[in-house]
């Protein structure tokens, strides 16, 4: 176990009704690194993220046990989920531009947290859009609708929005499935920069993406951890588990 863990998940179990989707998993996410999570569809990757920012609460029949400790605090016991979610940025698979102007899209979260100062918001919006590599494309039309942007731009807008509440952890859930390779590479560059400021959890279907970015990678399969190790090991010719080798190399799927 690493000593400097930003997030420590211990014996996390999640079931929807009678169907258990996470079967007691435990792992540590080190601070200021990109932590990759790979695994086929239905393996529980998204459910895992939803436990971390407690949006799992919105599923009426969800039952969670175990612990998700962020900076030593069990988020499953947190009452102020809104502050928790501000601490943990979340980017969904499909880009969501809110039906607001580009500016308001990014200013939405700070405003929801009570920020009113226009000058402060101006600075924040610019910084987040720059961080998300979108500023140069939209700086002259911040008043136009976020929903009118192209898919790739909307995904970067979504990332800018996730950054706007200055999270300490950024979770990306298959952020690249709806955008083109060029934009994907640009965002990947952004993520490499961002890991200096925050801890990033990168859930991805693209095995190569995890290999490129993640320091450590977790292979999740059917709600259980198959293997967790440094990415060099996971993506090497001889990972600890044969299943990992087969999945990474596309032998089973």
The C-alpha angle with vertex 203 and arms to 145 and 36, in degrees rounded to 5, equals 130
86 contributes a contact to another protein by CB under 8 A: yes
Examine residue 97 and tell whether it contacts another protein (CB under 8 A). yes
CB of residue 228 to another protein, shortest distance in Å: 26
Stretch that binds another protein, among 55-63, 187-195, 204-212, 242-250 (CB under 8 A): 55-63
Q: Which stretch binds another protein (CB under 8 A): 40-48, 90-98, 185-193, 227-235?
A: 90-98
Q: Does 58 bind another protein (CB under 8 A)?
A: yes
Identify residues 60-79 at the interface with another protein (CB under 8 A): 60
- Contact range with another protein by CB under 8 A, out of 91-99, 131-139, 188-196, 230-238: 91-99
For the chain, what is the total number of helices (H) and then of strands (E)? 10, 10
Q: Which long-range contacts (CB under 8 A, 24 or more apart) does 190-194 make?
A: 190/131, 190/132, 190/133, 190/159, 191/34, 192/34, 193/131, 194/131, 194/163, 194/170
Q: Which residues contact 48 (CB under 8 A, 6 or more apart)?
A: 9, 12, 14, 22, 25, 37, 203, 220
CB atoms within 10 A of CB 131: 18
Hey, what are 89's tokens?
Answer: 């940025």
Q: Does 152 bind another protein (CB under 8 A)?
A: no
Least distance in angstroms from the C-beta of 100 to another protein: 7
> Whose Cβ is closer to another protein: residue 5's or residue 90's?
90
- Does 204 contact another protein by CB under 8 A? no
Neighbours of 230 (CB within 10 A): 12
Phi then psi dihedrals of residue 192, to 5 deg: -60, -40
Which residues of the chain form contacts with another protein (CB under 8 A)? 53, 55, 58, 60, 82-86, 89-90, 92, 94, 96-100, 108-109, 112-113, 145, 147, 158, 161-162, 164-165
């Amino acid at each position: 176990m690493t000593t400097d863990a930003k997030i420590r998940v211990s014996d996390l179990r999640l079931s929807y009704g009678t169907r258990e989707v996470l079967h007691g998993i435990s792992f540590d996410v080190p601070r200021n690194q990109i932590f990759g999570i790979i695994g086929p569809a239905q393996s529980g990757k998204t459910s895992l993220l939803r436990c971390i920012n407690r949006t799992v609460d919105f599923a009426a029949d969800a039952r969670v046990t175990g612990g998700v400790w962020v900076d030593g605090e069990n988020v499953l016991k947190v009452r102020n989920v809104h502050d928790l979610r501000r601490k943990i940025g979340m980017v969904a698979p499909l880009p969501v531009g809110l039906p607001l102007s580009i500016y308001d899209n990014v200013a939405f979260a700070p405003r929801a947290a009570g920020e009113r100062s226009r000058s402060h918001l101006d600075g924040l919006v610019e910084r987040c859009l720059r961080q998300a590599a979108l500023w140069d494309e939209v700086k002259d039309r911040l008043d136009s609708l976020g929903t009118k942007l192209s898919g790739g731009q909307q995904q970067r807008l979504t990332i800018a929005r996730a950054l706007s509440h200055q999270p300490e952890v950024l979770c990306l859930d298959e952020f690249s499935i709806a955008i083109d390779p060029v934009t994907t590479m640009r965002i990947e560059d952004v993520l490499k920069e961002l890991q200096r400021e925050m801890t990033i959890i990168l859930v991805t279907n693209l095995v190569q993406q995890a290999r490129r970015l993640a320091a450590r990678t977790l292979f999740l399969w059917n709600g259980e951890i198959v293997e967790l190790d440094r990415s060099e090991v996971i993506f090497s010719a001889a990972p600890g588990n044969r299943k990992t080798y087969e999945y990474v190399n596309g032998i089973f799927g």
